[in-house]
Amino acid sequence: MNYTTQMDAARQGIVTGEMEEVARKELMDVSVLRELIAEGKVVIPANKNHTSLKACGIGQGLKTKINVNLGVSKDCCSIESEMEKVRRAIELQADAIMDLSCYGKTEEFRRRLVEISPAAVGTVPVYDAVGFYDKELKEITAGEFLGVAEKHAQDGVDFMTVHAGINRETAGRFKKNPRLTNIVSRGGALLYAWMELNDRENPFFEYYDELLDIFRKYDVTISLGDACRPGSIKDATDASQIQELIILGELTKRAWEKDVQVMIEGPGHMALNEIVPNMLLEKKLCHGAPFYVLGPLVTDVAPGYDHITSAIGGAIAAANGADFLCYVTPAEHLRLPTLEDMKEGIIASRIAAHAADIAKGVPCARQWDDNMSEARRNLDWQRMFELALDPEKARNYRSQSQPENEDTCTMCGKMCAVRNMNKVLDGSEPI
């Protein structure tokens, strides 16, 4: 069967192997899934060169997915340390791994990541451009920016963040509407600086059709980056953010015309009461394309605990339309995360995603909780550990404080309500 992308296949009525795999995982009729892909409401990031991939769907009616950010930087450039994080992220069931490398042997790390990862792999080409060409930002040409994107596509990257919405018009809106924290997106700031230094249009916007041709060739999903995402709750839902979102909606339709799959990236920092309206705005302005959010972080005053501020916002966002959560670690705003930071970020995001899936009525989401509740009623500790989102931590806590009676814990002992209700209902005497 002849098709170029998952969207192209879906529109031709073709069910691909990736669609069948996702449908099985999601307990969804494959014909329903195919139709959602054809409409752009679900994506399956699946580069033709990523041979170790286990297909994952993102979008309407599917389980909320989580992404993990990794990669080498100038100050922390150990490829082996980042590969250890990759292996751990896979063990912890991350759905996607995004390589944000911006220094050193980025190609080596990217290729090793794609080679072993069953999870979808994402990148941000503009991060890599400065190191790849070993040139000053101002000297990089439009063609060279596109060349990095093509190199990533050849290497098997499944989705790429492209900040095409920060064009001259959006930049003008930003200048007219000053912000407390300006532009906090690394890619957005680089492209804004490039435009200012060269007095030129954003190359990813100016040559968007050429970029789409590359993505179509390899079936790379375009993740339209939010260069103007708010970096503080003060800047949320402002003119710059909404201006860029309008542009992203227009770029979404242009990508779909070429059968390129699209995700939309969103905030950022945002007060609780603004999250639901923002989900509605994105889905409306971007025509139902899957929404990929960083957080949102619901307060700015908790450095060291931003995995929590992010999980609070992520649960609300996903329950109200977001499809994909980018994890945030306790080290956010402070340093490159360690292995333990990464784990805490993944677990917090998975909790948020699962809580949202219960609210959305995703098939079998509640069953997991019901099974855990049954194990608790039966005081079946081993079953509880098996069902725990983090079995390792649950077992460790239990082992650290042993009760006098094995069917209780050291919080309540013989006064355990579950134990005593079981005895009463069985006709035995409690305590």
Beta bridge partners of 266: 293
How far apart are the C-alpha atoms of 119 and 82, rounded to whole Å? 15
DSSP string, 46-95: --TT-TT-----EETTSPPEEEEEE---SSS--HHHHHHHHHHHHHTT-S
Annotated binding residues for [4Fe-4S] cluster, as ranges?
Answer: 409, 412, 416
Give Cβ neighbours of residue 45 (< 8 Å, ≥ 6 apart). Answer: 56, 58, 96, 120, 122, 158, 159, 220, 221, 261
Annotated binding residues for substrate, as ranges?
Answer: 69, 98, 127, 163, 185-187, 226-229, 265, 292
Does pTM top 0.85 for this prediction?
Answer: yes
How far apart are the C-alpha atoms of 106 and 355, rounded to whole Å? 36
Write down how long the chain is: 431
- The CATH number given to 63-360 is 3.20.20.540
* Mean pLDDT for the stretch of residues 80-91: 94
Q: What angle do CA 103, 106, 110 make, to 5 degrees?
A: 145
> What per-residue confidence (pLDDT) applies to 76?
66
Annotated binding residues, as ranges?
Answer: 69, 98, 127, 163, 185-187, 226-229, 265, 269, 292, 333, 409, 412, 416
Q: Name residue 240's amino acid.
A: S
- Residue 235: enclosing H or E segment and its boundaries? none
HSE toward the beta carbon, residue 397, CA cutoff 13 A:
12
Annotated binding residues for Zn(2+), as ranges?
Answer: 269, 333
Read off the pLDDT of residues 212-233 as tens digits, 9 standing for 90 and up: 999 999 999 999 999 999 999 9
Read off the pLDDT of residues 106-164 as tens digits, 9 standing for 90 and up: 889 999 999 999 999 999 999 999 878 888 999 999 999 999 999 999 999 999 999 99
Locate CATH 3.20.20.540 in the chain: 63-360
Q: Given a cut of 90, is residue 1 above it in pLDDT?
A: no
